[in-house]
Amino acid sequence: MKRISILLLSFVLIFSNLAKADEGMWFLAFLNKNYSQMQALGFKLTVEDIYSINKSSLKDAVVALDHGSCTGEIVSNQGLLFTNHHCGYGEIQAHSTVDHDYLKDGFWAASLEDELPNPGKTVSFLIRMEDVTAKVLANVNDNMSETMRDAYITRTIDGIIADVTDGTNYDAEVQSMYEGNAYYLFIYQTFKDVRLVGAPPSSIGKYGGDTDNWMWPRHTGDFSIFRVYTAPDGSPAEYSPDNIPLVPKTFLKVNIQGVKENDFTMIMGYPGTTNRYLSAAEVEEVIEHENTIRYDVRTIKLDILKKYMDADPNVKIQYAAKYAQSANYWKYSWGQNLGLNNLKVVKRKKKLQKDLMKWVKADNARMTKYGDMFNIIQTAVEQHEVADIAQNYWFESIYLGSEIISFTLSNFGLYRTLQGGEQAEIDSMVTVMTEKADEFFKDFDPKVDKELFITLGKIYLDKVKEEYYPSIYEDVQDEYNSDWAKYADAIYSSSIFVDKDRYMNWLKNPSADVFSEDIGFNYSYSMLQAYWAISDVKDDIDKDYQKGRRLFLDAYMKWLAANNPDQLFYPDANSTLRLTYGTVGGYTYDNIKYNYFTTIDEYMAKEDPNNPEFEVTQRMKDLYKANDWGRYADDDGTLHIDFLTNNDITGGNSGSPVLNANGELIGLAFDGNWEGMSGDIAFEPEFQKTICVDVRYVLWVIDQYAGAKNLIDELTIIE
């Protein structure tokens, strides 16, 4: 193996792709190159035990929830599934009422008949993956325009997907890797009957709330339980009382022997998005636009929600999931900016881009192909700056502001059908929208939504250039004298899309004319047109931008290969199944040493009766006083709650199984630590950690706190 130069090493460390035990989101089908590293850390299985298309393997027990928003794992031969509490939070909230508050009190199904269906929730199993780069790029060349290149690639991908899915109950996707330098096919089987089985109260499952989110030490029992159901013949099916529990290809055994420092760990799951190969200009854009705008707008939004939630217990339940979803990446944006600035990532990347260009300039052929790549990226970032700012404000202030747009635009299918569809089609759409409306209005309060509309709508007006104002703004100026609050009064007093009674009455005899006459629809459609205008500007500029990105990654990979042909290299995360391996351990930051686990004693010490984020139930106090942890106690005599590993995860990995050297379940991944918040862009192996809930705590809560022994009996437990 060639010696890596100091220059190359520094570049690799910045762009975070040098394979280390704790870094890397690896394709399961290509783990042979990682195998020796995994063995050195203590791994005891074979690569085929992890991924095989000829026999059952660990990948058959790991699933994507809702097409990759979270990860789950099958833990019994009856389709029982573990994931995070925050991954099931929306379903728990949807089933909650003031009289039956499952968020506050928890929920445990005593039998299959008690399990609760969740329309729209899905579980997808990976059947296999395949490198289809040669097929996808067979008819493209460097002389093509980006538009022509995209057209050829799209047509080829459509054909590949049709070939593997026609006549099957599979679905598939072809994912671009390395910015369009490689393409992989993923074939899935997706199940649509997923029922809620169990969830601890938020005082366990969400303990610490926003205060502790992304922080260590942590004391959160972040888990919930679902079950996958199939048609009687075992095939995927929509909910039906005749459906039966899934009989999986395999399921995970649960190991309660405990974790120790330096134990081998691997995490399998569906990480959402990383951007570790950004240029300096792109990192600046993330800091100044995406993260800053998200943080600023959501700070205001969350204050509004909290005001109403604190004042009304019903609103608190209605908006609990919405608040949690918004708060999660509100805090993330703040933390990531702090991390990127503290690490001086922009400055370091600028220097290293110069180093890469020295290699490019050393060869005429390389210079011809790659010489302009950073200029292309820089120019695109500068040209689309105004549009990018507008797009971020549109998304945060308008689309994620009040809910009038999302619900109104969900009626577009019905609108088109009313304009010329058959009566049977209209009736079918009315049925769909009736169900959707019931779901929407259950968790909708017009007072809350109206204040969001007024406050966040004004932010868009103040922060975005007039060229990206929607056409409806002219009407607001003319008819309402630019009084946004007065305009909101008109919408919320008359639009059918913000009042359940008005909407349901209209559905009894729907007509297309109402859409053009409805003030709420006209507002929503105008805002959608504004978004299209912003996107058109960005799309025109970003065709060259994507070319620059593709050339950059191509040059980068070739540079690494030229200096170190055995280099292990992984693509950015994109919601495809990956594996990361590492070990259990704590860390030191600012001369403070953090232990690798937390305990029930620390949980109790954090109790604050005046802070709902740190409430402790009387049931928990009684069990703590009894000091009976049963077979779930650690060797030190106490009950461990969470532990740390140096595995490499990101959003989408929530709920992922943490496995030991034998592939047995020892925990569930659920968060990262504050000091490692830069990780999606710049991985820092020294102190970037994954926070996991100890499976012993999960089982103790199920068994001794909830008394749900029927669920414990389903598991295969290694003691």
Nearest to 23, CA basis, from 645, 580, 572, 681: 580
Q: How far apart are CA 380 and CA 546, in angstroms?
A: 9
Q: How far apart are CA 119 and CA 346, in angstroms?
A: 44
Strand partners, 65: 70, 123
Nearest to 153, CA basis, from 187, 188, 182: 182
Q: Are the beta carbons of 586 and 262 closer than 8 angstroms?
A: no
Q: How far apart are CA 486 and CA 470, in angstroms?
A: 18
Nearest to 58, CA basis, from 712, 661, 473: 661
φ/ψ of 104, rounded to 5, equals: -80, -45
Nearest to 648, CA basis, from 575, 582, 595: 582
Residues 6+ apart with CB under 8 A from 651: 271, 272, 273
Q: Which of 22, 60, 212, 222 is catalytic?
A: 222
Coil, strand, or helix at residue 214?
Answer: coil
Q: How far apart are CA 80 and CA 585, in angstroms?
A: 30
Coil, strand, or helix at residue 641?
Answer: strand
Coil, strand, or helix at residue 63?
Answer: strand
Nearest to 224, CA basis, from 98, 99, 103: 103
Nearest to 64, CA basis, from 656, 664, 670, 648: 656
Cα–Cα distances (Å) from 639 to 309, 614, 628, in that order, read 34, 18, 9
DSSP 449: H
The reply to whether 654 belongs to the active site is yes
Q: Which of 654, 656, 671, 694 is catalytic?
A: 654
Omega before 217 within 30 of 0, i.e. cis:
yes
Q: What number of CA atoms fall less than 13 Å from residue 124's CA on the CB side? A: 23
Q: How far apart are CA 84 and CA 90, in angstroms?
A: 12
Q: Which of 16, 60, 86, 176 is catalytic?
A: 86
How far is C-alpha 321 from the geometric centre of its chain's CA atoms?
15
Q: What number of CA atoms fall less than 13 Å from residue 128's CA on the CB side? A: 11
Give, for 126, the enclosing helix (H) or strand (E). Answer: strand 123-131
DSSP 683: -
The reply to whether 86 belongs to the active site is yes
Q: How far apart are CA 52 and CA 129, in angstroms?
A: 10
**Tokens (6 digits) for 36:** 């020796």
Residues for the chain: how many in total?
719
Q: How far apart are CA 54 and CA 453, in angstroms?
A: 54
Q: Are the beta carbons of 472 and 531 closer than 8 angstroms?
A: no
Q: Could you report how far apart the first and last alpha carbons of the chain are, in Å?
A: 44
Task: State the residue for tokens 């994954």.
Answer: 690
Secondary-structure breakdown of the chain: helix, strand, coil percentages, each rounded to the nearest 5: 50, 15, 35
Q: Which residues are catalytic?
A: 86, 222, 654
